[in-house]
Structure 1
Amino acid sequence: MKILIIGNGGREHAIACKISENKNVEKIYCAPGNGGTALMDICENINIMGIDKLKDFALKEQIDLTIVGPEGELVDGIVDVFKKNGLKIFGPDKKASMLEGSKTFSKEFMDRYGVKTAEYKTFLNADDAFNYINTCSYPVVIKADGLANGKGVSICNNYKEAEETIKKFMIDDIFKGSGKKIIIEEFLEGIEASILSITDGKIIVPFISAKDHKQIYDENKGPNTGGMGAIAPNPYVTYEVLEDFNENILKPTLEGIKKEEFDYRGIIFFGVMITKKGVYLLEYNVRLGDPETQVVLPLMDSDLVELIKASLNKELSSFDLKWKNAYSCCVVAVSEGYPGNYKKGFKINIDKKVNSFIAGATFKEGDLLTNGGRIICTYAIENNLADSIDKAYKEMDKVHFHGMYFRKDIGKQY
C-alpha cells in the first residue's frame, strides 16, 4: 500500500509511526510532513499544498489511502473532492466537517438531537455581545465560531475579561474571520476529558479516553495553547461516566449523523466536561486531537490501517478493537514565547533513542531545527500512570534547544 498523510504536526508523525506497523504499507507520503517524518525510512515528505494539487498527486502516484490530519482541509471539502475522483480518503465530508468548522452549526446540531451541552447564545454583532455581558452571570465561556487552531476559546471571569475577548475576536479579528461570529456559553465546572472515536456512519466506536493540558503554565494557568501534554486513560473517565456519555452524547450524535445523511467515515472527537450534574459535550472535533493522538495511538493494540479500512467499508461493527492494558503520558516542549511570538531555526539536540514525536521542526543538512511553536513531545507507556509520567519526563531530559519550555506538572494533579 501507498499511503498519503496530510499535515505536519506531532499528530501526523504519530499516525505515520502507527501505520508503518502494517506490513502491507510500503510507502508513506507526508504532505508536507516534518523533521520527524523526514527521518523515517518509510516516509517521504512532499511539499504539496492545496486540495487540487494533493488530489492530482494522489491520482498520479496511485495512492491507496489518504489520511487527513488537520481540520482545515476537511472543512474545505477535501473528502468530497477525493471521493469524486475515485480516491480512498479517511475523514468526514464537507457537510459533516461543519461539526467542527462552525460552533453555531455544532450547537444547533446538539439542540436538534438532544445532545447534553451547555446553554449558549450566538452573536454576529459586537455591540449586542457587549450588551449581553452586562447582564450575564460569570464566569462565561466565549468561543470563536470558526477554526482557530485550538485557541478560539476563552474563559472570562468578569466583565472586563469578556469585553477584551469580544474586542479581540470580533473587532481586532485576531482569527482572520473565524471570530467575527461568537458564542457566549454557560461555564461548566468540572474535569475535561477527550474521547476520540471512530465512525462509519452506522456506529461510533470510542477509543481509550485522554486528558489534555491546554494552558501554557503549570497549574492550568496562562493562555490556551494547542496542548502542552496529555495522559491516557483519563483517570476521571469511569464506567459511570462512560455510561452517561454513551446515553446522552454518543447515541444522540449518531442519530443526528444518520438523519442529516452525513457521509461520515472518519474520526469524531468528543470534548466533554465531567460535572456534578453529569457529562456535558463541550465540542466536536472531526479529526484526531493533538497531543491526545500521541498518547492514545501507542496504546492501540489493533492495526490502525485495518481499523480505517473497516470504517471506509462500513464494517466497524465486526472489528475487534483492542487496547494495551497500560498507561501513557506525553509532555510537549515549545519555543520560548509560544503561544505568542517566537523565533525559529534553533538546533535541536536529541538522543537518538528518545521516545518522541516531532511537531514544529524541520530536518535540514543533517540537523533538526525548530520551525514552530510546539516542537516535540516525549512519551512513555508503563503499567501505571505515575511511572508513565516519570518516564516521559526522563525522556524530555534527553532533548535540548534554545528557549525550550515545557510544563512540569502534566498528569501530576491526578
Structure 2
Amino acid sequence: MKILLVGSGGRESAIAFKIAQNEKVEKIYVAPGNGGTATYKKCENVNLTDIDELLVFAKNNRIDLTVVGPEEPLTNGIVDKFKSEGLKIFGPDKKGAELEGSKSFSKDFMKKYGVSTAEYEVFYDHKKAKEYLENCNYPIVIKADGLAAGKGVVICEEKKTALETIDLFMINDIFKGSGKKVVIEEFLEGIEASILSITDGKRIIPFLSAKDHKQIFDGNKGPNTGGMGVVCPNPYVTEEVLKDFYENIMDKTLIGIQKEEMDFKGIIFFGIMITKNGVKLLEYNVRMGDPETQSVLSLMKTDILDLIEKAIEEKLDDVEVEWEEGYCVNVVLSSKGYPGKAETGYEINIDNEEISNIFIAGAKLEEGKLITTGGRVLSVVGKGKTLNEAKNNAYKIREKVNFFGAYCRSDIGIAK
C-alpha cells in the first residue's frame, strides 16, 4: 500500500511511525511532514499543503489511502473532494468537520441531541456580547467560533478580562474572522480529560483516556499552550466516569451524527470535564489530538491501519482494540520563548538509542541535522507498569535530548 498522510506535527510523526509497522505498507508520503518523518522508514516528505495539489498528487502516485492529521483541511472539505474523485480517505466530510470548525454549531448540536455540556449563548454582535457580560457569574469562558490554532478559548476570571477578550476577538479580529462570532459559556470546575475515538458512522470505539497539560509552567500555571505533556490513561477517568461519558455524551453524539446524515468515518476527540455534577463535554475535535496521540498510540497494540480500513468499510462492529497494560507519559520540549515568540534555528542532539521514544513536531532535517523550527519541538514518551515508572522513564529519556533553550515542565505525571 501507498499512504498519503497530511500534516506536519508531532501527531503526524506518531501516526506515520505506527502506520509504518504494518507489513502491507510500502510507502508513506507525508505532506508536508517534518524533520522526524523525513527520517522514518518507508516515509518521504512532500512539500504540499493545498487540497487541489494533494488531490493531483494522490491520483498521479496511485495513493491507496489518504489519512488526514490536522483539522483545517477537514473543515475545508478535503474528504468531500477526494471522495468525489473516487479516492479512499480517512476523516469526516465537511459537514461532520463543523463539529470542530464552528463552536456555535457544535454547541447547538450538543443541545439538540441532549449531550451533557455547559450552558452557553452565541453572539454575532460585540455590543450585545458586552451587555451579556455585565450580568454574568464569573469566571466565564469565551470561545472564538472558528478555528484559532488552539488559542481561541479564554477563561475570564473577572468582567474586565472578558470585555477585553471581546475586543480582541470581535473588534481587533486577532483570529482573522474566526472570532467575529463568539460563544460565551458557563465555567465548569473539575478535572479535564481527553478521549480519542474512532467511528465508522455506525459505532464509536473509544481509545484509552488521556490527560493533557496545557499551561506552560509547573503546577498548571501560566498561559495556555498547544499542550506541554500527557498522561495516558488518565488516572481520573474511572469506570463511573466512563459510564457517564458513554450514556450522556458518546452515545448521543453518535445518534446526532446519524440523524444529521454526516459522512463520518474518522476520529472524534471528546474533550470532557469531570465535575461534581457529572461528566460534561467541553468540545469536539474531529482529528487526533497533539500531544495526546503520541501517548495513546504508544500503548495501542492493535494495528492502526487495520483499524482505519475497518472504519472506512463500516466494519468496526468486527473490531476490538487491544492495549498494552500500564501507562505512557509524554513530556513536550519547547523552544525558548514559547508560547510567545519562539527562538528557533538550533540543532537538536538526540541519543540514537532513544530515537523510537521521540516524536518530532517543530523541526526540519537540514544536511543530516535536526534544526528547531517551531514552538513545540518534540515529544518524549516513557512507558511503565505504573504511572510513576512511566514518568521516571520519560524524564530519563528527556535527559538524552537537548537543544539551545529547550524547556519542559518537570511535573507531567504528578500535576493534576
Q: Shorter-chain TM-score: what band? A: over 0.9
Q: Tell me the residue number matched to 2:212.
A: 212
SS in 2 for 1:210: strand
Percent of aligned pairs sharing the same letter: 61
Which is worse superposed, 193-202 or 333-342? Answer: 333-342
Give the distance between the partners of 1:66 and 1:384, measured in 2 at CA. 36
Alignment map for 1:343-382 (pairs within 5 Å): 343-354=343-354, 355-382=357-384
SS in 2 for 1:353: helix
**CA deviation profile, 1:211-268 (whole Å, cap 9, x unmatched):** 0001111111111111111010000110000000000001110100000000000000
Q: Tell me the residue number matched to 1:317.
A: 317
Give the distance between the partners of 1:126 and 1:185, measured in 2 at CA. 15
Offset, 1:344 = 2.1
**CA deviation profile, 1:317-368 (whole Å, cap 9, x unmatched):** 1112111112100000111111111232111111112220000000001110
Contact 2:80 2:93 in 1 (8 A): yes
The reply to whether residue 202 of structure 1 matches residue 202 of structure 2 is yes
Q: Tell me the residue number matched to 1:78.
A: 78
Which is worse superposed, 251-260 or 346-355? Answer: 346-355
**CA deviation profile, 1:289-318 (whole Å, cap 9, x unmatched):** 000000000111101010001100000011
Q: Tell me the residue number matched to 1:118.
A: 118
Q: Give the alignment's TM-score, normalised by structure 2.
A: 0.98
Alignment map for 1:147-226 (pairs within 5 Å): 147-226=147-226
The reply to whether residue 395 of structure 1 matches residue 394 of structure 2 is no
Offset, 1:8 = 0.3
Q: Tell me the residue number matched to 1:268.
A: 268
Contact 2:20 2:41 in 1 (8 A): no
Offset, 1:161 = 1.4
Give the distance between the partners of 2:78 and 2:6, measured in 1 at CA. 11
- The partner residue of 1:412 within 405, 411, 414 is 414
Offset, 1:134 = 1.2
The reply to whether residue 290 of structure 1 matches residue 323 of structure 2 is no
Give the distance between the partners of 1:349 and 1:97, measured in 2 at CA. 38
Give the distance between the partners of 1:400 and 1:164, measured in 2 at CA. 39
Offset, 1:48 = 1.2
Give the distance between the partners of 1:269 and 1:39, measured in 2 at CA. 28
Offset, 1:47 = 0.5
AA aligned opposite 1:242: L
SS in 2 for 1:34: coil
Q: Give the alignment's TM-score, normalised by structure 1.
A: 0.99
Q: Tell me the residue number matched to 1:337.
A: 337
CA-based RMSD: 0.8
**CA deviation profile, 1:69-90 (whole Å, cap 9, x unmatched):** 0000000000000111111100
Give the distance between the partners of 2:127 and 2:308, measured in 1 at CA. 46
**CA deviation profile, 1:111-139 (whole Å, cap 9, x unmatched):** 11000000001111111111111110100
SS in 2 for 1:208: strand
**CA deviation profile, 1:114-171 (whole Å, cap 9, x unmatched):** 0000000111111111111111010001111000111111111101111221122112
Contact 2:202 2:314 in 1 (8 A): yes
The reply to whether residue 129 of structure 1 matches residue 160 of structure 2 is no
Q: Tell me the residue number matched to 2:385.
A: 383
Give the distance between the partners of 1:125 and 1:225, measured in 2 at CA. 28
Give the distance between the partners of 1:381 and 1:124, measured in 2 at CA. 46
Offset, 1:207 = 0.3
Q: Tell me the residue number matched to 2:31.
A: 31
Give the distance between the partners of 1:353 and 1:149, measured in 2 at CA. 33
In structure 2, runs of 5+ residues without a counterpart are: none
Q: Tell me the residue number matched to 1:144.
A: 144
SS in 2 for 1:40: coil
Contact 2:220 2:415 in 1 (8 A): no
Give the distance between the partners of 1:41 and 1:24, measured in 2 at CA. 14
SS in 2 for 1:155: strand
**CA deviation profile, 1:370-405 (whole Å, cap 9, x unmatched):** 011100110011111111011111111111111211
Give the distance between the partners of 1:366 and 1:309, measured in 2 at CA. 35
Give the distance between the partners of 1:386 and 1:292, measured in 2 at CA. 18
AA aligned opposite 1:280: K
Give the distance between the partners of 2:94 and 2:13, measured in 1 at CA. 25
**CA deviation profile, 1:21-75 (whole Å, cap 9, x unmatched):** 1001010100000000011131000001210000000001000111100000000
